[in-house]
Amino acid sequence: MTSPPRRYPDYDVLDKRDSPSWDDITRHVVAGRLNPPERQFFDDALWDVLIALCDTIMPQPDRDRPIAIWIDAALAQNRTTGTRYDNLPPMREAWKRGLAALEAEARLCHGRPFHDLAQDAREALLKAIDREEVAAPEWNDLPPRRMFREVLANEIVRVYYSHPDAWSEIGFGGPASPRGYVRLGPNRRDPWEAEESAATRRSAEP
């Protein structure tokens, strides 16, 4: 698997580090995201499941932006979005039980750990979970679709797009504080924003 052509191939959001687009707080936060911590929360078994799940939902065939380690760090510090679902346990418990249920489902359906399955088999298993077609007893008091969509997948995608490399990928300039954004309408951009490559722009035309 290879990545599609980059829409902003010459854009690097880190070039804004010393520009009016970023203040000291933004520089500090972004610098922290470039230095992932050590694993603290998940044990080896659940870590393998989490790594495989991240690779399945957000494949990175030619790059390696850390996702799992930032999820681990947030849970180790009990930092969450503040949302508590009425039919899910607290977030730290939900993650451990959700990953354990995913692993149990893989072993029951395929006789192998989730991380040993091929990409298409992993995707098929996740689609079945999203349809709530599960058999492992570990799901008995966990809602499979909500667990997958609103906890596991939601956080994986959120963490992926919090990384500066992902900002460069989509042409995002960050908070733009103190400069701010001015041209906010469709198909308008400020002069300091990324410009999409002509090749990908043409390919997107009807």
What phi, psi does 129 have (nearest 5°)? -65, -40
pLDDT tens figures, 131-174: 999 999 999 999 999 999 999 999 999 999 999 999 999 999 88
Tell me the percentage of the chain whose pLDDT exceeds 90. Answer: 67
Residue 59 is encoded by which pair of tokens? 């494949």
Cα separation of 132 and 184, whole Å? 40
| pLDDT of 136 | 98
Q: Quick check: 1 pLDDT over 60?
A: no
Q: What pLDDT sits at residue 147?
A: 96
pLDDT of res. 81? 79
Q: Are 21 and 174 in contact (CB under 8 A)?
A: yes
The residues facing 177 across adjacent strands are: 22
Mean per-residue pLDDT, 186-204: 75
Position with higher pLDDT, 10 vs 72: 72
pTM: 0.88
